[in-house]
Amino acid sequence: GAGVSQSPSNKVTEKGKDVELRCDPISGHTALYWYRQRLGQGLEFLIYFQGNSAPDKSGLPSDRFSAERTGESVSTLTIQRTQQEDSAVYLCASSPGTPQYFGPGTRLTVL
Amino acid sequence: DAKTTQPPSMDCAEGRAANLPCNHSTISGNEYVYWYRQIHSQGPQYIIHGLKNNETNEMASLIITEDRKSSTLILPHATLRDTAVYYCIVRPSTTGNQFYFGTGTSLTVIP
């Protein structure tokens, strides 16, 4: 079956612009996670959605970052006024409980 | 989540078994051991998880010591496509929260 998909696969933007990243989870997965991975580093948790519960936003690095999820489907991660340090691969994962299944990521480059 | 310790890198000859160790000396009784891997430029891929019994699936075997303070992931016949960074993670097997990915072990399978 279809796995987690993310779009775009690559995004190049200018400093100060807003970007929106999309994640389509596996159908039926109630949990959805966003992570950030800087070059050569491990994964950094950003935000977690579980069903209709309030999301766990404890990993968002600043108020420029926000995410939404409609029910148990698509999620979007928005970064406002992008900075060069936002350059990274942004990974989405979905889960029916355990384990997590990851998408291919969106590589964001802020010039 | 309990901290895990893994060697930063390992080599393995193609066709031989790759044994990747992980120390998790502060693991709690309700925490599972998970293994993921990340092939270059891809999202992490779930491999296997276990609580205290040894586990085997089509990808690998997981050997957990009786005191649960360490474990070994075994790839029985390594191929070049197994070259990746392997992450050992411990966490409760419940929904919620994130996986804390460390820096993992970079496995290189040598022809």
B88-111: pLDDT as tens digits = 998 876 555 667 777 899 999 999
Sheet with A19-24, edge to edge strand ranges: A5-7, A19-24, A75-79, A65-69
- Answer whether B101 sits within 8 Å of A43, measured CB to CB: yes
Q: Average pLDDT, stretch A16-22?
A: 98
Residues A36, B111: Cα–Cα separation, whole Å? 33
Q: Say if the Cβ atoms of A91 and B43 lie within 8 Å.
A: yes
User: What six digits make up the tokens of A35?
Assistant: 């992570």
Confidence of residue B2 (pLDDT cuts 50, 70, 90): low
Q: What's the rounded Cα separation, in Å, for the pair A51 and A94?
A: 11
Is A70 in CB contact (< 8 Å) with chain B? no
Q: Taken in order A51, A26, B42, B27, is the CA torsion positive or negative?
A: positive
Chain A residue numbers with beta carbons less than 8 Å from the beta carbon of B103 are: 41-42
Please report the residues numbered 38 through 57 in chain A whose beta carbons come closer than 8 angstroms to any beta carbon of chain B.
41-43, 45, 48, 50, 56
Residues of A in contact with B97 (CB under 8 A): 48, 56
